[in-house]
Amino acid sequence: MNAPLRLPELWSALPPALAAAWDPSAPWALLGAPLDALLDALIEAVAPERRVESQLHPHVHLMDDRIVIGKGARIAPSVVLEGPLVIGDDVEIRTGAYVRGGCWIGDHCRIGANTEVKRSILLPEAKAPHLNYVGDSILGRDVNLGAGTVLSNFRHDGKEIVVPDGAARIATGRRKLGALLGDGVKTGCNSVLHPGVIVGRDTEIYPLVQLRAGIYPARSIVKLKQDLDITAKR
């Protein structure tokens, strides 16, 4: 096992199956075999006739039999859901959203109109409510993504994603990895988090910020500073 990363505080609680697989030297590993095992166990434990415990609009598209939807879920027309997928209780998924590729969506989460979520874990009360892309990422409890926030998961050159940690560069072994956001992280509108970003809990990221791969501290404010040149019309 590699030496532990200098991780900030991230999550107060993970589902037991994920907590048991936690490796501080590779927190992104939760998105691999541990996520598969969690989804398989929850889907196999639910009888087919109890697979969907909420009333669904006929124009919600279930593209796989390996889907579990909890009680009180509000899923709008034109939503597309692909398994394996577990959706908790009282989750809201708005019109046009696309959830795919193996996701665990915790209780009371919110996924907005035309948002795409792929191969990700949303801990309870996490929100991706307005035109977001969430790829191969973990959103902590009560995370809120501002409108247009993108959690990018793929380098243009297709190379392995590495996470800088001080002078070291930690190989992840993954070609697709988005962001790991601690509990309570907030992002501003149109912010972009590049592949391999880790943000400590309760940090605020202001609008239009672009974060490169790396580890960002807990309880911080990340601002973009810019100069405006305003001149009179001629």
Active site residue 130: yes
In the chain, the amino acid numbered 96 is G
Tell me the C-alpha distance between 93 and 109, whole Å: 8
Taking the C-alpha atoms of 184, 175, 20 and 46 in order, what is their torsion angle to the nearest 10 degrees?
A: 90
In the chain, the amino acid numbered 184 is G
The one catalytic residue in 61, 108, 130, 156 is: 130
* 135-139 long-range Cβ contacts below 8 angstroms, 24+ apart: 135/176, 135/178, 136/31, 136/174, 136/176, 136/177, 136/178, 137/31, 137/178, 137/179, 137/180, 137/181, 138/11, 138/27, 138/30, 138/31, 138/179, 138/180, 138/181, 139/181, 139/185
Instruction: List active site positions.
Output: 130
